[in-house]
């Protein structure tokens, strides 16, 4: 730090005030098998519940996921009619949650970070709650921004587009769903969290979410690989490596300045509160 930049002397605000953390494959490793099981369940849903021919399902799901951020957002965009809760129950209900074990190391890391910590996931709140409880991290976050937070029923209007693969021109139907990596989802999350992007670190295992986060002005940490991609300020094989990669998260902890930060905790009351059930 250059002379004159000592925050104790200048009274500057801390560099980081808020941590926005993705849930799946960010707070636990991809090797847990939940992501693979989730993909299978989504494909089963599209086949069994929406009646798409089995041979066509994987390609359709891939294309929709690529275009819309989540397969669900894509299915809605192209006109499939289904109930969100039914979809989430089917897709997440049979996940091997038993593969997730309590992670006291991560818990201690999170609890020792002085910044506000908020989950930002495309998943639904029941899933987020189950995952956090399994990992023993249910008390580590100020709130959860999830599917229900980003998508209130009043905001969603059904789409009846007639759309089929492949996308051959720019007439891609819009999805009524707000989810990462859309600009709107990140802006909404920042608004709900009452967070300044320039003082917020965003953790995610998705390279496109990270790229979108960077475009929104966030500091970014790609998790699950040590190779930095577009928009990633840092890349960590595991979230457990955070202290080595970003010691500055803790460096501000003991300064008088950080104790004096005005934190608008009341503003996150609209976020789904951490679920402990
Ligand atoms: Mg993820």
- Separation of CA 261 and ligand 1 centre (Å): 30
Give the model's pLDDT for residue 171: 67
Give the model's pLDDT for residue 209: 97
Residue range 117-135, pLDDT digits in tens: 999 999 999 999 999 999 9
Give the model's pLDDT for residue 11: 56
pLDDT for residue 255 is more than 50:
yes
Mean pLDDT calculated for residue range 206-224: 97
Give the model's pLDDT for residue 188: 95
- Separation of CA 86 and ligand 1 centre (Å): 21
- Separation of CA 65 and ligand 1 centre (Å): 13
- Separation of CA 205 and ligand 1 centre (Å): 5
- Separation of CA 123 and ligand 1 centre (Å): 9
**How does residue 173 score in pLDDT terms, banded at 50, 70 and 90?**
confident
Question: Span 7-30+102-270: which CATH code?
Answer: 3.40.50.1000
**% of residues, the chain, pLDDT over 90:** 75
Per-residue HEC secondary structure of 84-126 comes to HHHHHHHHHHCCCHHHCCCCHHHHHHHHHCCCEEEEECCCCHH
Q: Tell me how far CA of residue 208 lies from CA of 64, 91, 162, 211, 212, in angstroms.
A: 15, 22, 27, 5, 6
Report d(CA 124, CA 128) in Å as an integer: 6
Locate the DSSP E strands across 109-187: 116-120, 143-145
- Separation of CA 28 and ligand 1 centre (Å): 9
- Separation of CA 26 and ligand 1 centre (Å): 6
Mean pLDDT calculated for residue range 6-22: 75
The torsion of the CA quartet 97, 239, 243, 189, rounded to 10 degrees, works out to: -100
- Separation of CA 124 and ligand 1 centre (Å): 13
More confident residue, 253 or 157: 253
Give the model's pLDDT for residue 253: 57
**How does residue 14 score in pLDDT terms, banded at 50, 70 and 90?**
confident
- Separation of CA 29 and ligand 1 centre (Å): 10
- Separation of CA 66 and ligand 1 centre (Å): 14
- Separation of CA 96 and ligand 1 centre (Å): 16
- Separation of CA 119 and ligand 1 centre (Å): 11
**How does residue 277 score in pLDDT terms, banded at 50, 70 and 90?**
very low
pLDDT for residue 273 is more than 70:
no
pLDDT for residue 254 is more than 80:
no
**How does residue 13 score in pLDDT terms, banded at 50, 70 and 90?**
confident
| Domain ranges (residues) in the chain | 7-30+102-270
- Separation of CA 24 and ligand 1 centre (Å): 4
Give the model's pLDDT for residue 252: 66
Give the model's pLDDT for residue 266: 37
- Separation of CA 204 and ligand 1 centre (Å): 6
- Separation of CA 259 and ligand 1 centre (Å): 32
> To the nearest whole number, what is the mean pLDDT of the chain?
85
Joined together, the tokens standing for residue 207 give 């390279």
- Separation of CA 110 and ligand 1 centre (Å): 18
Please state which of the ranges 11-25, 35-49, 236-250, 261-275 shows the lowest mean pLDDT.
261-275
Residue 167 CB contacts under 8 Å (≥ 6 apart), including other chains: 63, 67
Joined together, the tokens standing for residue 156 give 């969603």
pLDDT for residue 263 is more than 80:
no
- Separation of CA 48 and ligand 1 centre (Å): 25
Please state which of the ranges 97-101, 161-165, 171-175 shows the lowest mean pLDDT.
161-165
Mean pLDDT calculated for residue range 184-212: 96
């Amino acid at each position: 730090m250059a002379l004159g930049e000592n925050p104790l002397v200048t009274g500057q605000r801390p560099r980081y005030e808020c941590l926005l953390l993705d849930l799946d494959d960010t707070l636990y490793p991809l090797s847990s098998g939940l992501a693979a099981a989730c993909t299978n369940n989504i494909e089963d849903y599209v086949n069994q519940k929406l009646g798409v021919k089995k041979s066509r399902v994987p390609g359709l799901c891939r294309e929709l996921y690529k275009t819309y951020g989540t397969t669900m957002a894509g299915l809605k965009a192209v006109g499939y009619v289904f109930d969100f809760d039914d979809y989430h129950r089917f897709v997440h209900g049979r996940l091997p949650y038993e593969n997730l074990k309590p992670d006291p190391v991560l818990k201690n890391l999170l609890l020792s970070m002085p910044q506000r910590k908020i989950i930002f996931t495309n998943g639904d709140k029941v899933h987020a709650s189950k995952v956090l409880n399994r990992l023993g991290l249910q008390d580590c976050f100020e709130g959860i921004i999830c599917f229900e937070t980003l998508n209130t029923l009043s905001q969603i209007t059904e789409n009846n587009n007639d759309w089929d693969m492949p996308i051959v021109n720019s007439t891609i139907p819009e999805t009524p769903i707000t989810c990462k990596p859309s600009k709107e989802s990140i802006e909404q999350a920042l608004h709900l969290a009452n967070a300044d992007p320039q003082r917020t670190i965003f953790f995610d295992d998705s390279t496109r979410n990270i790229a979108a986060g960077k475009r929104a002005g966030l500091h970014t940490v790609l998790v699950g690989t040590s190779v930095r991609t577009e928009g990633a300020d840092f890349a960590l094989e595991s979230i457990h490596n955070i202290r080595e990669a970003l010691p500055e998260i803790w460096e501000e902890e003991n300064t008088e300045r950080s104790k004096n930060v005005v934190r608008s905790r009341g503003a996150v009351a609209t976020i789904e509160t951490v679920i402990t059930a």
